[in-house]
Structure 1
Amino acid sequence: MKDNIKNNDATRVQLELDLGEQLNVIISASHALNVRTAARFDPTLQPAAFIIVRWLFSFGPTSATALSESTAMDRSSVSRLVNQLKNLGYVKSEQSPSDRRGVLVSLTELGQQRTMDALKEKENAFYERIEKWDDSKLETFIELLKDFNCYRTK
């Protein structure tokens, strides 16, 4: 009985190590793809600027404070990057309709178009990995990721 428990523990440890390895592959590949996507958006910008652009594209206008919190960047970095993006015509600042003292940052039309163009490359890279999967395998993968990420939509 003890040998069986030890074997099960060893199997579990190896499975967890294998999982860690695969997660590292995903994280590393995703980071490299994000850097390439950022360069496609605008090669003169730091990849961190594209994190802001991508957030605005996904979630819409927001304050610099919310951008800082949601991207885990300090306020000064966000401010500097937003100013660069403004100077290049990718983002704009407007007075908040709900709080006249507040300012909302949002993508311009140019920023939205450049983001969509840049994301096509990223979408293609991920699509190539799943294109031969049947719907059942893709559904299972999505469900497992939702469980792993503790993320369930409505």
Structure 2
Amino acid sequence: MEENIITKPDSSRMQLELSLGDQLNALLSASHALNVRTAAVFDPTLQPAAFLIVRWLLSNGPAAATLLAESTAMDRSSVSRLVSRLKQLGYVKSETHPEDRRGVLLSLTELGREKALKAIKEKEEEFYKRISKWEDSDLETFIYMLRCFNGYGTK
């Protein structure tokens, strides 16, 4: 005779999952706060969302506004407004798309690139402070676990 067993979640597992949630929330909150501070280092007169565009262009190169909107999860009108401001300040420029003469590509100017790199360096220093005393093996384990968590599998 087969029993219909209803299992309760293991309370120790539930506690671990709650603790994981707490730590992920702390990481996301700290990362967001650091992103806002980094954006202010880049240019305190801009909204932090503008730095998200700058960061994307720095990492990925020239792009159409539509791709920027999709990639940053912002609506087109917000991207358009932020890009206009970035252009006014000399951080972003528009160029005709080389393959589609009707299209426009946005890219960082030299000033935009220099300021972005300076701001990012300060952000990286904050994260490096947190791991500076870790053993290499601890850092390797952390990287491995983050890769797994982020869906990238194993080394």
TM-score, structure 2 length as denominator? Answer: 0.92
1:109 aligns with 2:114: no
Instruction: Report the Cα distance in structure 2 between the residues aligned to 1:39 and 1:152, rounded to whole angstroms.
Output: 35
Compare the two structures and name the one with the higher helix fraction.
Answer: 1
Cα RMSD of the aligned pairs, angstroms, is: 1.6
User: For residues 3-152 of structure 1, what are the structure 2 equivalents within 5 Å?
Assistant: 9-151=10-152
Instruction: Report the Cα distance in structure 2 between the residues aligned to 1:141 and 1:81, rounded to whole angstroms.
Output: 36
Provide, for residues 21-47 of structure 1, a one-character-per-residue CA deviation record: whole Å limited to 9, x for no partner.
Answer: 000000000000000000000000000
Instruction: Report the Cα distance in structure 2 between the residues aligned to 1:104 and 1:82, rounded to whole angstroms.
Output: 12
Instruction: Report the Cα distance in structure 1 between the residues aligned to 2:106 and 2:76, rounded to whole angstroms.
Output: 13
Aligned pairs, number: 149
Instruction: Report the Cα distance in structure 2 between the residues aligned to 1:88 and 1:151, rounded to whole angstroms.
Output: 38
Unaligned residue ranges in structure 1 (runs of 5+): none
Runs of 4+ deviating beyond 4 Å? none
TM-score, structure 1 length as denominator? Answer: 0.92
* CA-CA distance at 1:153 after TM superposition: 10
Instruction: Report the Cα distance in structure 1 between the residues aligned to 2:102 and 2:153, rounded to whole angstroms.
Output: 35
Unaligned residue ranges in structure 2 (runs of 5+): 1-6
